[in-house]
Structures are given as structure tokens and as C-alpha cells.
Chain A
Amino acid sequence: DAGITQSPRHKVTETGTPVTLRCHQTENHRYMYWYRQDPGHGLRLIHYSYGVKDTDKGEVSDGYSVSRSKTEDFLLTLESATSSQTSVYFCAISETDRGPPRPDGYTFGSGTRLTVV
């Protein structure tokens, strides 16, 4: 419906294991983002992408990597999950206005709740 889906919706994993979260869009938007949401912190940017194979770090990128091999998919990988990465992860896409992303054009996915035990 909104053109953005996240998978899985819930995941429990053990400390030290790798985890990959997927964000898929059908809107053909150039910009895609990964955020984490924690109580008392709101949403904090992990990484973002401005095109296929073009990514950059956000505010809290340590311990995370991303890849974008196709316009429609943006993957977030935790190479070795830690308990501090227990969080709700949101993907977002944004429309652009002749180049830069429009701040009022963000659409968020429904989130992935990740628990690291």
C-alpha cells in the first residue's frame, strides 16, 4: 500500500551472529534510509543510500553495514549482533525535488523488532 515493506517484522537472534534486515520499495525512489528507534532517543539514522551502490554513514553507524545492489532493495547487516543492537529498525524512502530529498516526502516502513539475546 505505501510501497515500502520490511522483512522480517520480528527476529530474535543470539549475540555474535550475523543478521540482515531487508527493505523493499516499489516507488523507484532514489533515497533510502535505515533508522533505529529506542526509548528516549526517537529515531536515529544508521546509514542511508542515494542510489545503487551509493551509501553513506549516519549518526549511529558503528556495528552496521548496508548494501544497495538494486534501486528497490536496501539491506542492513549486523555483522556480529550485540545486545546493544536490540531495537526497532525502520526503513524509509524519500521523494526528491529535482535532486535533493524532500523533507516532507519521507515514507516509513512498519519496522523490524530485533532482539539480541
Chain B
Amino acid sequence: GQQLNQSPQSMFIQEGEDVSMNCTSSSIFNTWLWYKQDPGEGPVLLIALYKAGELTSNGRLTAQFGITRKDSFLNISASIPSDVGIYFCAGHTYNNNDMRFGAGTRLTVKP
């Protein structure tokens, strides 16, 4: 099946710093999505990207759908303590309704 490689696995940053994480795949996807998971909760959608090259922002978050359709990145600017959590990328293909998830990036923000 399609595998998503998400990096880095974890990040320890200072409050106020910018963060960047990415996801790559050997297969193309129709949609790329980024989720955040807080402890003890399920993932919550942050950003969805629908076409190659698309750049979308949601507050301090910016994500891009790679032009090859095989990768995506998420940037968080000016991090704050509540950004702590696990961030997951996901890729979706329409023809078989397949949603695949990356292994996650665990973010720790030090005040």
C-alpha cells in the first residue's frame, strides 16, 4: 500500500520559533491533509489541500501541496505553548477512497 514518510519524528522548540514538517510519498494523492492531535483526543483537521501547488493558510499555519502530488509541508509560525501535540499528514485518493496517514511529528514547545 501507499506509505507516507513524515519527518521529523519529534521537535523541541522554543516559544516564538517557527516550525516546519513535511510528508513524502512514493505515490500521488488527490488531497493532502494536516491534522493535530492533543493528548487523549482524536485528530482534528487543520488544513486540507486539493490541487498541486496549492498554498493555504489557517492563522499561523501554512501548508502546501507539492507540485509532484507526492509531498506536502506544514509550517507553523511564531509557535506558542498550545501548539504542543502530534501533527499528522494524510493523503487521500478518490479512485479507491483510500486515506493514508503519516506516523506523526510530536511537537514540544518550551515557554
Contacts and interface: CB of A to CB of B under 8 A. Distances in A.
Partners in one complex: yes
A115 to B, nearest CB: 15
Contacts of B99: 45, 103, 106
Q: Is the interface of A mostly helix, strand, loop or mixed?
A: strand
Interface residues of B, number: 23
Nearest to B48: A104
Contact of B40 (A45, A100, A111): A111
B82 interface: no
A90 B48 contact: no
A110 interface: yes
Given A42-B102, A42-B103, A59-B1, A104 B31 contact: yes
A42 B87 CA distance: 10
A90 B44 CA distance: 12
Interface residues of A, number: 18
Interface string A78-97: 00000000000010100000
15 contacts: A40-B103, A42-B104, A43-B43, A43-B101, A45-B99, A59-B1, A101-B97, A103-B33, A103-B99, A104-B31, A104-B48, A106-B45, A108-B42, A108-B44, A110-B42
